[in-house]
Amino acid sequence: MIGSAPTPPELLEIAITVARDAAATAHRMRAEGVSVAATKSTVTDVVTAADRAVERQVLTALRTRRPGDAVLGEEYGAGETGPAADGGVRWIVDPIDGTVNYLYGLPYCAVSLAAEVAGEVVAGVVRNIATGEEWTATAGGGAWRDGARLRCSAETDLGQALVATGFGYDAGRRAHQARVVAELIPHVRDIRRMGAAALDLCLAAEGRVDAYYEKGLAAWDLAAGGLVAREAGLRVTGLSGRPPGPDLVIAAPPALFEPLHTRLAALDASGGP
């Protein structure tokens, strides 16, 4: 690696340019008609031609702007560039988060792109493909949507909290997650299942939901939205002090974190298939 890594604002500028172009391509391909190209972990875990085309476009753009950087993507993994050099930059991309929504034409899907330096996410952008809403953040630089600085919910009563969550593609896991929701729902205001983790985290960042949790997220679902959420004041962790990851992600304002964490731990939210 030559010289030091760019600053978080410099990486964010690249991420925004690349994500906007990617979202435009996804939007155009949706208008032209989209179908299932293949399935992945289960028959309901679909990938469309647009997921692949958009990730390819992001890879090419990053290779041009930042030739030596590593890229980890949902569709092509890390295979295209290999791991990041020591202290180097790794980009983490979900070309279309909320692919099932995208397939059905529901306006809740996003391009998510984050830059990680020495293992820490330092810049991220989440752009809704249908609405054009754009959330950005840099480590220590705050979280923003369309030029407005974001602060998470000030709600202090879990019983009044609107909580977002999601379900996996495996039927057994969905059954376990549904049991957790069934036990949790009497103790919160209501549940929202909207279908895209990156957007759920961004809505929590600006208090359009009060909190979010989900089991089964991959790095690309979490990287950019997780930074936006943290920079807006949310605690974003796993269960029992573990880092946020596939076992469980909990994103909640400080006042709601412990009561929500206690309920989710008691309900074995990180358990099941």
Give contact residues for ligand LIP (rule: CB under 6 A): 74, 94, 97-99, 166-169, 195-197, 214, 221
Instruction: Give the nearest residue (CB) to ligand LIP.
Output: 166
Please, what is the minimum distance in Å from the beta carbon of residue 252 to ligand LIP? 16
Q: Which is nearer to ligand LIP, 117 or 198 (CB)?
A: 198
Q: Which is nearer to ligand LIP, 47 or 256 (CB)?
A: 47
Please, what is the minimum distance in Å from the beta carbon of residue 126 to ligand LIP? 11
Q: Which is nearer to ligand LIP, 69 or 214 (CB)?
A: 214
Q: Which is nearer to ligand LIP, 7 or 57 (CB)?
A: 57
Please, what is the minimum distance in Å from the beta carbon of residue 6 to ligand LIP? 27
C-alpha span between 168 and 161 (Å, rounded): 23
Please, what is the minimum distance in Å from the beta carbon of residue 246 to ligand LIP? 11
Please, what is the minimum distance in Å from the beta carbon of residue 92 to ligand LIP? 12
Q: Which is nearer to ligand LIP, 62 or 93 (CB)?
A: 93
Please, what is the minimum distance in Å from the beta carbon of residue 109 to ligand LIP? 7
Q: Which is nearer to ligand LIP, 5 or 103 (CB)?
A: 103
